[in-house]
Amino acid sequence: MSRYIPFIFAFLLSVFSVCGVETRAAESVKLCQSYELWEEWDALKGGDTEKYERLKAEHNRTARTVGVPPEEAKAETERIRRQEQQEKTRKEREQQEKTRKEQERQEEARKVQEQQEKARKVQEQQEEARKVREQQEKERKEREQQEEERKEREQQEGERKAGDLLRWTINDVKFRFHYCPAGTFMMGSPAEETGRHGNETPHQIMLTQGFWMGETEVTQEQWESIMGDNPSKFKGAKLPVECVSWDDCQDFVKKLNALGTAPKGYTFALPTEAQWEYACRAGSTTAYCFGDDVYLLDAYCWDSDNSDEKTHKVGIKKANVWGLYDMHGNVWEWCSDWYGQYPRPTASASKRIDPVGASFGTIRVSRGGSWYYELEHCRSAFRYYCTPDFDNADWGVRVALVSDE
C-alpha cells in the first residue's frame, strides 16, 4: 500500500497549491498514511474492534485537519490506484505488443530464411541435375565414339591393309595411326646412295608382327594432354613437341599405357629402329620414301633449306604411301633401341628377325632428320643418336602401337 502514497501526495499537493494551502501538504501525507492503516484494519472487522475504531477515528481527525472529507480521501486513493493499475496495464499491453511484433518480425525473418534456404536447395538440386545430365550426355557421346571406334577396329581387324587408318581419342585429344603390316625389307643403304654413312650397312630384316605407327610426330597438344606440361621452345598446339629427351618420351609412353586406353592386344611404345625405317620406307628402297630426287624433297620435308630455323605444323607436307607425315625432317624422332652396329652378313638369322638394337649401351637411336639439318640427314636410312637425357628444340617423338604378343 505504501507505494501508492507518493501518487496520492502529488495529487493532494497539486490541489492544495491551487487553493493556496501548500502548508497542508504534510497533513495530506499523514491523511494518506492514516487512511492506509484504516483500510488495512477495515478488513479486520469483527476482530480487534478497539484498535479498529481508534485508527478510524485518527483518520477522520486527519481528514478534517486538511479539509478533505474521509469519503473523498478514500475515493481519491482508489482513483489513484486505478490510474496506476491502468498505467501498469497499458505498459504491459505495450510490452506485449512489442513482444508480439518482435515475434512476428522473427517469424517473418525465419520464413524468409526458410524460403531462401529452400530456394538455395532447389538451385543446388537443379545444378546437380544439370551436371548429371551433362555427365550422362558426355558419357553417351563417349560410348558412341567408342562404339564407332570399336566397329572401325573390327572392320580393320577383318582385313587390314598397309596404311589403314586408326583413329583414337585419349583425354579428349585425337590420335591417328596407320597400319604397317608384317613383312621383310632391306634396312640400311646401298653403297652408291648419296650422303650415305658407314653405319648403314644394308641387311634384310623380318618383322613378324604388324603395328600401328603414329600418323605424325606427337604434337604439343597431345603431349600436354598426357603429361600436363609443354617443354617446347616453339609453341603451338599442332606443332611437334620438342625439347624432350628419350627419358621424357619413355615417361610419356608409360603414362599413356597407365591410362588403359590402348586398343585391345596393343601397347603404346617408341618404335624400334627397324620399325621406324620400315614405316618410313613404306615399301620403298630409295633414299627417301618417294624416290632419290632431292628436288622433290621439299614437298615432304622440313629441313635446313626451307624451315626458317623453326618447327612447323605437323601433317602439312605430303605423306608417304602409308599415310605417314613428316617422316623426313621437322624434328628427330627417338627410337627405343640402344645404338649399335648392324648385324654382320654372317650373323645368325635370329638377329634379323624383329631386332630391338644393342643389348646395352650409353646412347639411344633417333631417326628422320630435323628442321636444323641438311637433306642427307633426312634420308630413310640415316642413323643418329644421343644420350637418353639429351633434349633440344629439334628433338621430338613419334609413338607406335605394338602387339602384346
Q: What is the pLDDT of residues 352-373, one digit of tens each?
A: 999 999 999 999 999 999 999 9
116: cell is: 531462401
Q: How far is CA 8 from CA 25, 35, 88, 182, 310, in A?
A: 11, 11, 17, 124, 110
pLDDT tops 50 at residue 42: yes
Residue 353's DSSP bridge partners are 206
Contacts within 8 Å (CB) and 24+ apart, 19-23: 21/67
pLDDT band, residue 68 (cuts 50/70/90): low
Distance CA 342, CA 369 (A): 20
pLDDT tops 80 at residue 49: no
pLDDT tops 90 at residue 236: yes
Distance CA 195, CA 177 (A): 30
pLDDT tops 60 at residue 393: yes
Q: Considering the chain, what percentage of its residues have pLDDT values greater than 70?
A: 79
Distance CA 8, CA 63 (A): 13
Q: What is the pLDDT of residues 159-218, one digit of tens each?
A: 789 999 999 999 999 999 999 999 999 999 999 999 999 999 999 999 999 999 999 999
pLDDT tops 70 at residue 143: yes
- Region 230-248: mean pLDDT is 98
* pLDDT value for 16: 44
Distance CA 396, CA 243 (A): 7
- Please, what are the domains in the chain? 1-121 (no CATH), 160-403 (3.90.1580.10)
Q: Report which of residues 345 and 315 the model is more confident about.
A: 315
Closest by CA position to 58, among listed 89, 27, 87: 27
Q: Report which of residues 280 and 265 the model is more confident about.
A: 280
* pLDDT value for 146: 77
Q: Considering the chain, what percentage of its residues have pLDDT values greater than 90?
A: 59
320, 360 Cβ separation under 8 angstroms: no
Distance CA 103, CA 334 (A): 79
pTM above 0.75, yes or no: no
* pLDDT value for 324: 98
* DSSP H or E run through 97: helix 70-158
pLDDT tops 60 at residue 21: no
Q: Per mean pLDDT, which range of 59-73, 79-93, 161-175, 280-294 is the poorest?
A: 59-73
Q: Report which of residues 224 and 49 the model is more confident about.
A: 224
Distance CA 197, CA 191 (A): 9
Q: What is the pLDDT of residues 145-162, one digit of tens each?
A: 877 776 665 565 557 899
* pLDDT value for 3: 54
Q: At what angle do helices 5-19 and 70-158 cross, to 10 degrees?
A: 130
* pLDDT value for 404: 85
The mean pLDDT value of the chain amounts to: 86
* pLDDT value for 53: 72
* pLDDT value for 20: 41
- Region 306-322: mean pLDDT is 98
- Region 101-125: mean pLDDT is 90
pLDDT tops 60 at residue 351: yes
pLDDT tops 70 at residue 14: no
Distance CA 380, CA 297 (A): 12
pLDDT tops 60 at residue 66: no
Pairing of strands 383-386, 364-367: antiparallel
